[in-house]
Amino acid sequence: MVSGLFIIITSQNYIKKIVGLAIFQTSVFVFFVSLAKIIDGTAPILNSTNDVYSNPLPHVLILTAIVVGVATSALGLAIVLQIYKNYGSIEENEIKKVELKENN
């Protein structure tokens, strides 16, 4: 989690920021899935031999969250593409320089 957050904050490159975001989100997903694990638990299928099973709900939630994460990354990359077309760069400090020049 923290390494993903660290990348988002420190990285100057917009694509790296999105990668950081993906790492951050994925680690939260893993956290959720780990909540569901029960020792000796199996898949939640009703049969006569197993009566201990993992909680399927967090998995389902994370399935939704993964979709959201993919959409976020896709939209982010689409915007980065547009930024590149408009500014000719995807480095935050270079774009800030361009902005400063424009303002003066």
Q: Shortest distance, CB of residue 40 to other proteins, whole angstroms?
A: 19
Q: Which two tokens stand for residue 3?
A: 């390494």
Least Å from the CB of residue 10 to other proteins: 13
Answer yes or no whether residue 58 interacts with other proteins by CB under 8 A.
yes
- Indicate which single residue of 38, 63, 66, 79 sits in contact with other proteins (rule: CB under 8 A): 79
User: With binding defined as CB under 8 A, does residue 83 bind other proteins?
Assistant: yes
> With contacts defined by CB under 8 A, how many residues of the chain interact with other proteins?
30
**Which CB, 21 or 54, lies closer to other proteins?**
21
Distance CA 90, CA 81 (A): 8
